[in-house]
Structure 1
Amino acid sequence: MASLQLSYDELPIRMKQCLLCFSLYPEDSEIGAEQLVHWWVGEGFIEGRNTSTTMELPFDYLSELISRCLVEVVQRRGYDGRAYSCRMHDLVRDLTIKIAREEGFCCFDDQGRQRPSARSRRLSFTNEADLRSMNKKSRIRAVLMMTSSPIQFNRNIAMFTIKSPRVLDFSKNKLENICIEDLLNWISSLERLASLNLSGVSALKELPFSIGKLRNLQLLVLTFQGIGRLSNLQELSGLKLVGADNKDGCRLAELQNLLQLRVLRVNISEENEIAEEELTVLTHLKQLKVLSINSEV
C-alpha cells in the first residue's frame, strides 16, 4: 500500500482528482472510458491545451494512469489502441476510497460503501436504496446512475433538490419509471451543468426549448435531439440525422450555430434525406476536430 500511496502522491493535482473518481464505481466493475472522461471534463478536472480537442487531453490523463499501473485496461480500440474500458485493482480502489474519504471527495462508511451525507460532492447510484438514502444536498457536483435495474422516481425525490451539479450521467438506465417532463424541467434549471448524458433514457424523444438555458453545457450525449440553441456545446455524440418528415431526430441544419463544436458523432439511417443546402453546414464548424459518421442499415 505504501508504494501505491507514493504513486498517488507523485500525480499532478488534477490527475489525482481524476483517479479518485474511480472510488465511486462498484468493486470489479468494468468502466467505460468515455463515461470517465466526460465526467472529468464536466467537473473541470482537465486543464485544457490549445493544441488538444476537448477529449484528447482527458484520454491522455487516462493513458498516464494506466502507464503508472493505477488503472487496468479491459478493452482497447483496434485502430488506435485507445482504452475503451478499464477497471481498478482492489488494492488501488481501497486506496482511492481512503483518500476520497479523507479529502471530502466523496463520503464512505468504514466498509468502503458510499453513504450520502451533507458533505457529499459526488453521488453514484447502484440500487434504489442509494436513492432513498439521499436528503437535500445542494453541494453535489456529479450524479451518476450506475445500474440498469428499474428504479422508482417521482417529482419529490431528493435528487431534484440538487441545484448546481456539473455532471449528470444516466447512460446506464432507461429511467422508465420517471416523468420525463419533471426530469427535463429540473435539468433545464441547472445553470452550471457542463456534461449531460441521457443516452439511456428510452422515453426521451426531443428536448424542450428551455434546454437552451444551459449555457455552460460542453458535452451532450443523447439518443434523440433538438439542440440548435446550445451554442457553447463542444462535443455531441449519438446524433440521429433524419429526413424532413421524421420528427424523431435532428436535421443537419440545426448544427449551424454550434460554432464551438469540436467532436461530432452522427448516425444516419436509410430514411435520411439531407437537403442540398444543408451540406455546407459542416464548413461553418471551424473548431471541429473529430467527425464520426455511423450508417444505420
Structure 2
Amino acid sequence: MSVPYKLPVLDEESSLKLFFKKALPNSNTNETIPDDLYDIGKKIAKKCGGLPIALRVLGGLLSTKPVVSWRTEMEKMDWGSEGQECSAIIGTSYDDLPFALKSCFMYFAAFPEDYYIDAIPLLQMWVAEGFIPQQENKTLEDTAEMFLEDLVQRSMIQVSKRDHCCGFIQYCRIHDLLHDLAIRKAREENFLVVFPKVDGARRLAIHDTEPSGELMASAVSNLRSLWCHGRAPNISLFTRLKVLNISEYDYYEPNKFGRLSLLRYVEGHLGVHEEDKDYFGKFIGGMRFLQTLHLEDEIDCHDLPDFVWNIKTLRHVLLPIWSLGPPPSIDLTNLQTLRGVRPRESWVAQGSPKLPNVKHLEMGVTAQDEVQWDAIVTLLNTMKHLVVLDLFGPDIPLKIIDMRHFLFRCCLTDLALEDTNRGDEDEEQRAQPRNQIVLDVGMLPKYLIRLSLKNIKFSEDPFPVMEMLENLRYLHLDGSKLLVRLRCSARGFGKLEELDLFSLTGLEEWEIEEGAMPMLKKLFVTDCPCLRVPLGLQYLTVLQNLNWVRNETSRTEEHEICSICKHIPNLNIWVM
C-alpha cells in the first residue's frame, strides 16, 4: 500500500496574496495594502492554517463587507477548536448568506460529488422553486444569475467554465467540503435529502442507484422536487412534484407518467413508445404551471400537441428534434427560450405566434421551402429582445442574412446560420450556385459578439464588412466554397479573440495587414487545401494557439509555418 501524499499548505506570503485577491477583488495587485488590513490578513493566514479553501471562503465573505468593519467581523467569529478552523470558517460564511441565497446554496446538495453543473438549467430550477424574488426591470433569470455570481464571489461555488466571449457562467461545481456542508444544512433544514433517506423529504436526489418502490412510497406525500442521476422510479407516484430532472434514458409506459399537474420544471430523457405519444402529449399538456420543458436528445418524440402551447407560464422550451413551433397567433408573453422547432406555413396566412420576450431562438427549415423561410421572416419581424439566434436550413435567402430591418438588430449578440444544402447540386448549379451572397455594410447586427456562418455562399470576401463589427470576439466561417481571397485590414477585427476557418476548399490567399486582429488568441485553420501560408501571421503577436490541419503538408511548407509562427506558444500542424 502506498503512503498517502500530504498536500502542502500555503506559506504566509502565498496565504496573504490569495486572501487579499478574494477580499479585495477590485483592487490593483500592485497597490500597497494599508497596515491595519495587512495585520488582519496575517492573523487570518495563521487562523486558516494556509488552507486555500479557508482563505478563499473567508476572503469571499469579507469582500461583501466594508473594510472598516473587517476587524469587528473577525472578532465576532467563532473559530472553533484547534484543527477545526476551516469548518468554522465555512460554517460562518454560510450563516452570513441572505435567506434566499441559503436555499440556492443548499440546492447544490442535489448533485453528486465533483459533478459539473450546467448553470442555465440550475438557474431555471431556482426560478421554478420560487427562490428568486422579482426585481424591478429584471427577469427572474437575470436575478438568479446575480445570485450565482454572488455565491462565486463568496467562494462558496467554483466556476468550471465561463463563456469566453460574454463572460457568463456555463458550468460550475462545488468543493467537497462545501458540498458536505450543503448536504448537512439541507438535511438539518429538512430542505433536501439524498437517497436512501426518503422519509419526509420535500426534495430528493438519487445518485447512481435504482430505488425500490417500497422505499419511494414513503416519500409520496411531501415530495416536491426529484433529481435522478441514475434510473428513475415510477414518477406517477409523486403528484405534488414541481421539479423533475431525469438524467438517464429510459422508456416509460403510460402508467409511469400519471397526472403531474403541478410540475414547473421538466428536464430529462423521457423516452416513449410510438403508441404512447398521445398519452405523453397529454402528460405535458396537463401541467398548468409549467415553466421549463427541456427534453434531451435521445427522446423519440415528434410534434407537441397544440394544447401544450396553451400553457401561459412557459418560459423555456427546448426540444431535441425539429418539432412544429407554436400555432398561429398564440400569445406566449413569458417565453424566453424556444429551441428545436420548425416554422408553420400557417404563420404566413394566419399570423405568427406572439413571442415578444424571446431572447434565445433556435429554429430550422427541414426542406427546400420558400414558404417556411417567409414564415421565419414573419416571426423575426415581431421580435424586439432577441439576443441569440440560431437558424439552419437549405438555401438560406438574403432576406434572412440581411438583418438591418429587424427590430432586434440592437440586441442580438450571438448569431449562427447554417445552409444545409451542400453537395446535392447538379453540375450546372455548382457552377452557378443559388443564393450567392455579397455581404454589405449594415446587414449584420453591429453589436454581435459571436458569429458562426456555415455553407453560406459568399461570392466575395465578407471580411471587409465583418471586421467593422466592433464587439466581435468569435468568428467561425465554415464551408464557403466560393471564396478565393480573404483580407484583414489594419485595425480590423479589433476585439476578435478566436477565428475558425473550416472547409474553405477554394480559398487560395489570405492577406493579413500589420495591426489587424490585435486581440486574437486562438486560430484554427482546417481543410483549406489551397491556402498559402499568410506572411501576416507574424503580426499576430498575442496569438497563443494555432492549429493548422491540412490534407498534406510538404516539409518546406511546414518549415515556413514554423518560421513565421515561431512566436506562438502552442503551434500544432496536423496532417489528415
TM-score by length of 1: 0.81
- Equivalent position amino acid for 2:233 in 1: L
Could you say if the C-alpha distance between residues 295 and 194 of structure 1 is closer, same or farther in structure 2, counting changes exceeding 3 Å?
same
Could you say if the C-alpha distance between residues 54 and 237 of structure 1 is closer, same or farther in structure 2, counting changes exceeding 3 Å?
farther
Q: Distance in 1 between matches of 2:349 and 2:155?
A: 45
Q: Check the 8 A contact 1:241/1:251 in 2, yes or no.
A: no
Corresponding residue SS for 2:250: coil
Q: Show the counterpart of 2:417.
A: 295
- Equivalent position amino acid for 1:169 in 2: E
**Stretch of structure 1 that moved more, 215-224 or 85-94:** 215-224
Q: Distance in 2 between matches of 1:165 and 1:91?
A: 32
Q: Check the 8 A contact 2:158/2:175 in 1, yes or no.
A: yes
Could you say if the C-alpha distance between residues 278 and 295 of structure 1 is closer, same or farther in structure 2, counting changes exceeding 3 Å?
closer
Q: Check the 8 A contact 2:264/2:290 in 1, yes or no.
A: yes
Q: Distance in 2 between matches of 1:57 and 1:226?
A: 28
Q: Check the 8 A contact 2:128/2:242 in 1, yes or no.
A: no
Per the TM alignment, residue 251 of structure 1 is displaced from its structure 2 partner at its CA by: 6.6
Task: Decide which of 199, 202, 207 is 2:299's aligned counterpart.
Answer: 202
Q: Distance in 2 between matches of 1:276 and 1:184?
A: 29
Q: Distance in 2 between matches of 1:253 and 1:289?
A: 24
Corresponding residue SS for 1:11: coil
Q: Show the counterpart of 2:290.
A: 193
Q: How does 1:130-145 map to 2 (within 5 A)?
A: 130-132=232-234, 136-145=237-246
Q: Show the counterpart of 2:361.
A: 265
Q: Check the 8 A contact 1:123/1:140 in 2, yes or no.
A: yes
Q: Show the counterpart of 1:75.
A: 161
Identity value in percent:
22
TM-score by length of 2: 0.44
Corresponding residue SS for 1:207: coil
- Equivalent position amino acid for 1:49 in 2: Q
Q: Show the counterpart of 1:247.
A: none
- Equivalent position amino acid for 1:203 in 2: D
Q: Show the counterpart of 2:379.
A: 281
Question: May I ask how many residue pairs the two structures share in their alignment?
Answer: 284
1:119 aligns with 2:222: yes
Per the TM alignment, residue 30 of structure 1 is displaced from its structure 2 partner at its CA by: 1.0
Corresponding residue SS for 2:253: coil
Q: Check the 8 A contact 1:53/1:262 in 2, yes or no.
A: no
Could you say if the C-alpha distance between residues 33 and 231 of structure 1 is closer, same or farther in structure 2, counting changes exceeding 3 Å?
same
Could you say if the C-alpha distance between residues 243 and 195 of structure 1 is closer, same or farther in structure 2, counting changes exceeding 3 Å?
closer
Q: Check the 8 A contact 1:101/1:107 in 2, yes or no.
A: yes
Q: Check the 8 A contact 2:325/2:343 in 1, yes or no.
A: no
Per the TM alignment, residue 84 of structure 1 is displaced from its structure 2 partner at its CA by: 1.0
Q: Distance in 2 between matches of 1:72 and 1:205?
A: 38
1:23 aligns with 2:124: no
Q: Distance in 2 between matches of 1:221 and 1:113?
A: 23
- Equivalent position amino acid for 1:143 in 2: L
Q: Check the 8 A contact 1:242/1:272 in 2, yes or no.
A: no
Q: Which runs of 5+ in 2 are unaligned?
A: 1-86, 198-203, 207-214, 391-415, 421-576
**Stretch of structure 1 that moved more, 222-231 or 12-21:** 222-231
Q: How does 1:143-162 map to 2 (within 5 A)?
A: 143-147=244-248, 150-157=249-256, 159-162=257-260
Deviations 1:152-188 (A, max 9, x none): 421112x424331111112xx2626683332221110
Q: Check the 8 A contact 2:331/2:355 in 1, yes or no.
A: no
Specify which structure has the bigger relative contact order, considering alpha-carbon pairs within 8 angstroms and separated by 6 or more residues.
1
Q: Show the counterpart of 2:145.
A: 59
Q: Check the 8 A contact 2:227/2:246 in 1, yes or no.
A: yes
- Equivalent position amino acid for 1:206 in 2: D
Q: Distance in 1 between matches of 2:226 and 2:356?
A: 30
